[in-house]
Amino acid sequence: MCGIVGYTGFRLAVPVLLDALANLEYRGYDSAGIAVVECGKLKIFKKTGKINNLKELLKNKILSSSCGIGHTRWATHGVPEERNAHPHINDDCSFAIVHNGIIENYDLLKKKLNNQFFRSQTDTEVVAHLLNKQLLNKALTETNILKSLKLVCDDLKGSFAFAIVFNKFKDKIFVAKRSSPLIIGVGKNENFIASDIPAILKWTNKVIDLKDNEFGIISAQKVEIFDCNLKIKKFKIREENIKAEQIILNGFDCFMHKEIEQGAEAIQETANKVFNNTLLEQLVNKKQNINKIHICACGTALHAGLIAKFLIEKYCRKDVIIDFASEFRYKNPIINSNSLCLFISQSGETADTIAGLELAKSKGAFCIAITNVLGSRITQIADFVIPTFAGPEIAVASTKAYVAQISALLGFTKFLFKKEDIEIDYNLQDIYNICDWWKNTNFDEVILKVVKMIKDLDSVFFIGRSVDYYVAQEAALKLKEITYIHCEAFAGGELKHGSLALINDKSVVIVILTQSEILEKTLNAIHEIKSRGAKIVMFSQFLQLKDFADLFVRLPNKNQNLMPLVCAKPLQTLAYLTSKTKGFDPDKPRNLAKSVTVE
Ligand code: F6R
């Protein structure tokens, strides 16, 4: 949430910063701003809304600076207005700061700043004034800045990645980090900082991962990293594998569309790696004492976890307890050294999931992270990491990462309790078959008919039983987040216990029906709905049910365990096409951001 960037080198800073910010826009798009060091002065530009507005503002400005910082905001403290946009400055505008994270004790610190005038409602501005206070009456040297910054950071509670530029230093960026991501991109006679790789990939794939409680001074020729005691540190430069073309649209109308199409590769690549992961096999063999499994995640990642719960309980006959990470961290979960905890996170940065992981570790549980971002915070804390291979996911709504997570969990379940001679009736070839089907199937025609039925409704309901209920929950989340239609998923058998009261002759109910065992029971719910005059859209492979539906979306007849993967393609397409039809941008839903690094 929020993205920060910085550049120092031989190029004009403004276009670099704007380009870099545009590639971080998925982290927030409430407002954007930059600060550049121009002839011994700081020039600050801010605009509400997307980066394009800031670009427009800067269109005719001539700025020769080659050093600056930038920010794209997802509002936490303070409404999305210009005054709350970053960068924030101290009283005499001798430095400017951008921040990704959240300062939890900012109110208390603000009170301590007695008569200070505040231009904004943000937590970040408090940091600017605290730093100013520390620097008062001190010579503005690198050492004094670092010492002052450290003293400020020591007083902060919460998460932060800061980048600061001073009018006195024409090519230096000062950085500090705790719990929010920050990378340094290393170039030739130029260096970059960013919250995430896509921002800098155009110029360099050489990256330093700044660690928690480290500080840095970055100039065009040099990168210096300091530990928490401000001792200079050696650092490693790694090469990032992501290619620049992976983060461009390549002819697609939006990233969500591109990423739905990439689902097949994400599933295949992940299954390939996880099903053949000998380390995972050895690990699972060693962990036969496990008596309880917990799964903890947020949003779509949690829905992937629900599918794993279904599979593990079905095949391994072990209880799986699943929690929203935001609940898990506060419910004092009953876990110990015989517990296996799975944390699923595309970004590997989600604050609640990370807090849950830290808690489980402190209770002695063995913690596995499933993530799409190697090097992310989750990978640094977990005992074992199962990577997904979806490639960078740019659209805010998760699509290819979700199916990659399911793919990884299918592999994980296969290894789990293998010694107990449990026959699991799906294999890698079944998954490859689904990938081929995914690549060669287009649902647009039939899905556009569904779009026509639902696009003007206030509410859309989904029902399913067993694993279909989990699929329905994900479908409802995807549709609501990018179309702003109220969507809700119900367990098929639960309708008559209250929710049926919502159904009338204007309603459309989307039924997911892929499991033969619950076929007849789901039909009962369909009858109940139809007798209230509602329309039924059915997603199923059971052709014999066609006549029960007003619109039937035919699914292929694949291994039943893998039907959640199959359902993902038409249901993600439904969300994407409804969003487009309603004139929205599916990639950037209102009020949301991709990496939820705040609680
Ligand atoms: C919805 C969506 C979110 C994320 C959730 C967790 O489409 O993308 O619900 O799944 O915010 O994010 P990660 O997986 O990064 O922890």
Whose C-alpha lies nearest to ligand 1, atom 6?
A: 298
- 332 and 449 share a domain? no
Helical H runs in 207-292?
255-261, 263-275, 278-286
Whose C-alpha lies nearest to ligand 1, atom 11?
A: 299
Rounded Cα distance between 332 and 360, Å, is 10
- The residues near 92 (Cβ < 8 Å, ≥ 6 apart) are none
Q: Which atom of ligand 1 is nearest to the CA of 302?
A: 10
Q: How far is the CA of 300 from the centre of ligand 1 (A)?
A: 5
Residue 500 falls within a domain, yes or no?
yes
pLDDT at 333 over 70: yes
Q: Which atom of ligand 1 is nearest to the CA of 405?
A: 14
| H or E, element range at 208 | strand 206-209
- 164 and 266 share a domain? no
Q: Which atom of ligand 1 is nearest to the CA of 371?
A: 14
Taking only the tens place, the pLDDT of each residue in 457-487 is 999 999 999 999 999 999 999 999 999 999 9
- 261 and 201 share a domain? no
Q: 6 - beta bridge partners?
A: 69, 193
Positions marked active-site: 2, 594
Residue 594 falls within a domain, yes or no?
no
CATH code assigned at 462: 3.40.50.10490
Whose C-alpha lies nearest to ligand 1, atom 7?
A: 397
Whose C-alpha lies nearest to ligand 1, atom 9?
A: 299
* Residue 142 burial by Cβ neighbours in a 10 Å radius (0-12, 13-18, 19+): middle
- Domain-ending residue, one of 247, 267, 285: 247
- 170 and 279 share a domain? no
Q: How far is the CA of 1 from the centre of ligand 1 (A)?
A: 12
pLDDT at 508 over 60: yes
The two structure tokens encoding residue 15: 């276009």
Mean pLDDT across the stretch 22-50?
Answer: 94
- 255 and 376 share a domain? yes
Residue 31 falls within a domain, yes or no?
yes
| Residue found by looking up tokens 């902060």 in the block | 156
- 446 and 469 share a domain? yes
- Domain-ending residue, one of 189, 215, 247: 247
Domain that holds residue 319: 249-440
CB 274 within 8 A of CB 386: yes
Q: What is the pLDDT of residue 316?
A: 84
- 78 and 206 share a domain? yes
Q: How far is the CA of 263 from the centre of ligand 1 (A)?
A: 16
Q: What is the pLDDT of residue 318?
A: 86
Mean pLDDT across the stretch 260-274?
Answer: 97
Q: What is the pLDDT of residue 164?
A: 98
Q: What is the pLDDT of residue 78?
A: 80
- 328 and 234 share a domain? no
* 3-state secondary structure (DSSP) of residue 322: strand
Q: How confident is the model at residue 285 (pLDDT cuts 50, 70, 90)?
A: confident
- The HSE-up count of residue 202 (CA atoms within 13 Å, CB side) is 15
- 425 and 375 share a domain? yes
- Of residues 133, 78, 122, the one with CA closest to residue 99: 122
Q: Identify which of 307, 346, 373, 477 to mutate to test ligand 1's pocket (most ligand atoms within 8 A of the CB).
A: 346
**What average pLDDT is seen over the chain?**
94
Number of domains forming the structure of the chain: 3
Residue 392 falls within a domain, yes or no?
yes
Task: Report yes or no on whether pTM surpasses 0.85.
Answer: yes
Residue 454 falls within a domain, yes or no?
yes
Q: Which atom of ligand 1 is nearest to the CA of 478?
A: 7
Residue 551 falls within a domain, yes or no?
yes
Q: How far is the CA of 297 from the centre of ligand 1 (A)?
A: 8
Q: What is the pLDDT of residue 415?
A: 85
- 233 and 309 share a domain? no
Mean pLDDT across the stretch 14-30?
Answer: 94
Amino acid at 578: T
- 271 and 241 share a domain? no
Residue 593 falls within a domain, yes or no?
no
Q: What is the pLDDT of residue 417?
A: 61
- 462 and 542 share a domain? yes
Tell me what percent of the residues of the chain surpass a pLDDT of 70. 99
Residue 487 falls within a domain, yes or no?
yes
